[in-house]
Amino acid sequence: MSNHLGSICDVKGDKISFFMKKDANLSFGQIVRVDSGGRSFYARVVNAQSKSTLETGEQLREAEGKETFGPYSCYKNIEAILFLEKRAGKVRSPTFNPNYMDKVFQTTQEDSAVLKLGGELQIGNFRSGESMLGNVGIDSDAIPRMLGMFGMTGSGKTNTELIVNAQLIDHSPQTAGLIFDFAGQLLEGKELFNVGLRDHPLFHSKVCFYSTKAGKMRVGLRTLRPEKLRNLFSDITDPQYRLAQKIYGQLGEEWIEKVCEVWERNGPAGVTKLVSAHKGTINALMQKLTHLNPALFPPSPYSFIDDVIENISQGVTCLVDISGITAEEQHRIVCLTASGVANHYKREWERNYERWQLLPTLLITLEEAHEFLDPARERTIFSSIALTYRKYRVGLNAVTPRPSRINPDVFAELWTKVIMKTELKADRDYLTKNTPYLEYSDTELKMLDIGEALLISEPKIRFAVPVKVVHYADYLKTREKVDYRLPPSKTFEVMGKKLKQLQNAGKSLGNS
């Protein structure tokens, strides 16, 4: 038997009010159950008022200590919104509402099972007041239906990203992640977490790390065909793009290196000799090409993106650390990589459906998503992914503290939303206006604690579930170390002997 919270005193449409028992405990957003005859209803607490049976004048005189009145009753009146009904074992949207004096209860583990919150990619626990009930997770089907994680600085977004990606790694090779780490904190966790993806027990077999520091992140100029320029330079115009195609037609694979040489030697006149074009267009395109950072874009046929594609196809999650380079370069690397990987999925779907079926379902995690999904900007690879890549099983996880700066068309496509503490009014208004089932949660959004979230994951979870996201360090504690079955390494003594033998053999070869 769950805790009795109170009894219904008023019902109108999907709004119910109940008197709360004196010793009961409740919080905004909490989910309660109302038993009504053969049905149970589930409702979310949206408002609370304290009142007494005294009239205003009497209350005032009592407050000022002028008179005492009595006996009178004080009561707490709670408002809640119905969102589900359970009848004969079936759960659906409410078809009716409860009756006067029906009893209201705190939700239990059993209710958590009824609400079917435990998806395979577990992210936390169902919060019911102070208690933590069953697991809450999303299904892998939710990945291509796109995700969004929102919350102000310090609300726990990065932790949630770590948890979701740890789950993708655990479910490899059915799922894989591609993560862009702008702050360079996901590998080691830095001082915020002290643990990162490097501490995941499957890190050595299921994760690949790329960073500019180790020189592993290079995109050879010879891999850049003109069509990729749209991802490299968001402001490229159609005439500049057509000019790039003409130059590529003339010079082939090494077109960027060669045209830059010509430009350095003979300026615009040299390029005009190669292809005919307006001088302004040539200048604008050449400004772009000559300013590519040679450390990231060397003249070679190697691109780390091919390696990323290969790894992801095998179910290996790729962590791309783009800290330490300029914002412009970050933008270039992120767009090029995401488009390379997403287009691989598209191409396989179009040309080799059987091979495509073997690809893991992919989730691309993008922090600072507002920079790439701004309504004022032209369509980017990320808006295309969110709007059209569902059928290829490529999902986007847009993470941002500023949801109101995300294009509303894209926002509507993010069917799974993890909403954390948000104080800014503009963002709360945007979230509550544009997210179904959140219209009464404005107050709740600013009252959430670190790591607390509201989760909506359509079509499976059609209401805002209060969740406490598992802390990544605690998740790691529940994971056992993985035995890679490697043979024990030899002792230094044995290795030293072998080295000496090799040195001696080398010397004798040198003498002969």
Ligand X SMILES: Nc1ncnc2c1ncn2[C@@H]1O[C@H](COP(=O)(O)OP(=O)(O)OP(=O)(O)O)[C@@H](O)[C@H]1O
Which residues, numbered 151-210, are part of the site for Mg ion (CB under 5 A)?
157-158
Pairing of strands 175-181, 207-211: unpaired
Is residue 192 near ligand X by the rule CB under 6 A?
yes
Helix axes 304-313, 327-351, angle to 10 degrees: 50
Residue 157 or 405: the one with the smaller Cβ distance to Mg ion is: 157
What CA–CA distance (Å, rounded) separates 44 from 150? Answer: 21
Task: List the structure tokens of 478.
Answer: 């529940």
Give the CB-side neighbour count of residue 405, counting CA atoms within 13 A: 13
Using CB distances below 5 to 8 A depending on partner kind, what does residue 189 bind out of Mg ion, ligand X, none? none
Closest approach of Cβ 120 to ligand X, in Å? 20
H-helix or E-strand spanning residue 260: helix 255-274
Which of 157, 468 has the CB closer to Mg ion?
157
* Site string (448-487) toward ligand X, x via CB under 6 A: --xx-----------------x-x----------------
- What is each CA distance from 380 to 205, 226, 287, 384, in whole angstroms? 32, 16, 22, 6
Q: Which is nearer to Mg ion, 128 or 158 (CB)?
A: 158
Determine, following the binding rule CB under 6 A, whether residue 190 of this chain makes contact with ligand X. Answer: no
Do 109 and 134 meet the contact criterion of CB atoms below 8 Å apart? yes
The number of residues that bind Mg ion (CB under 5 A) is 2
Find the part of the chain contacting ligand X (CB under 6 A) among 153-161, 164-172, 239-247, 309-317.
153-161
CB of 144 to Mg ion, least distance (A): 24
157 binds ligand X (CB under 6 A): yes
- The option from ligand X, Mg ion, none interacting with 339 (CB < 5 to 8 A, set by class) reads none
- The answer, yes or no, to whether the previous bond of 298 is cis (omega within 30 of 0) is no
- For Mg ion, the closer CB: 91 or 183: 183
User: Of the listed pieces 3-11, 147-155, 350-358, 488-496, which binds ligand X according to CB under 6 A?
Assistant: 147-155
C-alpha 343: how far from its chain's center? 20
**Using CA atoms, how far apart are residues 359 and 315, in angstroms rounded to an integer?**
8
Taking each helix axis from N to C terminus, what angle separates 238-251 and 255-274, rounded to the nearest 10 degrees? Answer: 100
The CA-based diameter of the chain, rounded to the nearest angstrom, is 117
In the bound state, the residue with its beta carbon closest to Mg ion is 158
Token representation of residue 197? 């993806």
Q: With CB cut-offs between 5 and 8 Å by kind, which of Mg ion, ligand X, none does residue 416 bind?
A: none
Q: Report the candidate in 157, 431, 180, 504 with the shortest Cα–Cα distance to residue 321.
A: 180
State the number of binding residues for ligand X (CB under 6 A): 15
User: Of these, 18, 42, 150, 193, which contacts ligand X (CB under 6 A)?
Assistant: 193
Residue 193 touches which of Mg ion, ligand X, none (Cβ within 5-8 Å per kind): ligand X
Residue (312 or 418) nearer to ligand X, CB: 418
Nearer to ligand X, 405 or 471 (CB): 471
Taking the complex as a whole, the smallest distance from the CB of residue 153 to ligand X amounts, in Å, to 4
Considering the complex, state which of residue 160 and residue 303 has its C-beta at the smaller distance from ligand X.
Answer: 160
With residues binned 3-state (H G I as helix, E B as strand, rest as coil), the percentages for the chain, rounded to 5, are 40, 25, 35
Is the peptide bond preceding residue 301 cis, with omega within 30 degrees of 0? no
DSSP 367: S
To ligand X, the closest distance from the beta carbon of 192 in angstroms equals: 4
Cα 296 to Cα 310: distance, rounded to the nearest angstrom: 20
Cα torsion for 332, 336, 337, 342, to the nearest 10°?
140
The helix or strand, by DSSP H or E, that contains position 50, with its residue range, turns out to be strand 39-52
Q: Supply the DSSP string of 475-494, one letter for each residue.
A: HHHHSPPP---PPPPPPHHH
Collapsed DSSP state (helix, strand, coil) of residue 14: coil
Q: Which does 119 bind (CB under 5 to 8 A by kind): ligand X, Mg ion, none?
A: none
Query: Candidates 154-162, 260-268, 296-304, 501-509 — which segment interacts with ligand X by CB under 6 A?
Result: 154-162
Residue 426 binding target from ligand X, Mg ion, none, CB below 5 to 8 Å by type = none
- Residue 98 interacts with, from Mg ion, ligand X, none (CB under 5-8 Å by kind): none
Within positions 121 to 160, which residues make up the interface with Mg ion, using CB under 5 A?
157-158
Query: Alpha-carbon Rg of the chain, whole angstroms?
Result: 30
Of 94-102, 156-164, 411-419, 483-491, the segment contacting ligand X by CB under 6 A is 156-164
The torsion angles phi and psi of 130, rounded to 5 degrees, stand at -85, -15
Residue 127 as a binder of ligand X (CB under 6 A): the answer is: no
Stretch 356-415 residues interacting with ligand X (CB under 6 A): 401
Binds 151: which of Mg ion, ligand X, none (CB < 5-8 Å by kind): ligand X
Residues engaged in binding Mg ion (CB under 5 A): 157-158
Residues engaged in binding ligand X (CB under 6 A): 151, 153-159, 192-193, 401, 450-451, 469, 471
